[in-house]
Chain A
Amino acid sequence: MNNILNQIGIENYIFLSVILFSIGVFGVLYRRNAIIVFMSIEIMLNAVNLLFVAFSTYHQDAEGQVFVFFSMAVAAAEVAVGLAILVSIFRNLGSITIDNLKNLKG
């Protein structure tokens, strides 16, 4: 069984996930809508997951893929908690624009 990376190259996976990760970062900074920000974070995590799998193939080692499971669990947990916080903010504030969260400063 040939290593698929011989055809694509690990670098390209790295670049892909770096760009994807950067897009996630961009999203977090660019958007004021909390939900989209969450989504951006998910994109970041997924970029890393993708790289994990690529590395797993690179090393021909399953641990990387196992780690992705944990990463998914973490993502899920984060989203759950994040959305819970978001909901309570929405209840109090009636909006989920993170620019409105500027009471704490100075």
Chain B
Amino acid sequence: MIHIPDFANATAVQIIFCILAFITLLTAFLTIYSRNPIHSAIYLVICFFSIAGHYLLLNAQFLAIVHIIVYSGAIMILFLFTIMLMNLNEQKEVHKPRITRLGAIVSFCLICLVLIAIFINSKPIVGEYTATGEDYQSIKVLGKILLNEYMVPFEFASILLLVAMIGAVLLSKKEKIEK
């Protein structure tokens, strides 16, 4: 069953979802479309914020906050930093050949259509979405899960970050030339 937003009888949640979704998609598109990297970055930040909005809508407050901190805060800053560092501006990008654009559009349409078609074709989800009423996404719960059940992945994520760190260092460290 496809929920087509019925704007006449739309609940607030539905309207918010639609607006957020629109913002998300638009800014995501603009991120890609914008010629100036800095603009792209800013659109992306907006996009991330709108996604955080979705999280909030789904009542995942903690995640929303983490999301904003990590993406908008850390990752985007890293991007911006690099853009600034390299002093990029819009002129730098060479003209895209038509075939590239065509290919990109074809891919976009294909992947979009194929996946959506599958979901539409498939057996719709029937019935009410259950709500246990239990708290499953508060910081407390998340913390428990993360540090009990998911302790090993959590620790292992540290290895991931360690590797990334060593890697970044390895790639940028100047060598002492030993003769």
Contacts and interface: CB of A to CB of B under 8 A. Distances in A.
A–B direct touch, CB within 8 Å, in complex?
Answer: yes
Q: Which has the most chain A C-beta neighbours within 10 Å: B75, B104, B150, B165?
A: B75
The DSSP consensus for interface residues of chain A is helix
B44 A76 contact: no
Given A1-B131, A10-B129, A49-B67, A27 B54 contact: no
Contact of B164 (A15, A18, A77, A99): A77
A49 to B, nearest CB: 7
Given A33-B88, A53-B60, A77 B161 contact: yes
A57 B40 contact: no
Nearest to B172: A84
A66 B1 contact: no
Interface string B66-93: 1100110011001100110110100011
Q: Which has the most chain A C-beta neighbours within 10 Å: B5, B103, B104, B163?
A: B104
Contact of B160 (A29, A30, A74): A74
Contacts of A95: 92
A18 B163 CA distance: 31
Contacts of A1: 131, 133
What band does the interface of chain A fall in when counting residues whose beta carbon is under 8 Å from B?
35 or more
The DSSP consensus for interface residues of chain B is helix
A22 to B, nearest CB: 4
Contacts of A86: 82
B3 A8 contact: yes
Interface in A15-56: 15-16, 18-27, 29-33, 35-36, 38-40, 42-43, 46, 49-50, 53-54, 56
A101 interface: no
A3 B37 contact: no
A63 to B, nearest CB: 7
Contacts of B128: 3, 6
A16 B71 CA distance: 19
Interface in A75-104: 75-81, 83-88, 90, 95-97, 99
Given A6-B129, A8-B13, 5 more contacts: A19-B116, A20-B25, A25-B111, A39-B44, A60-B132
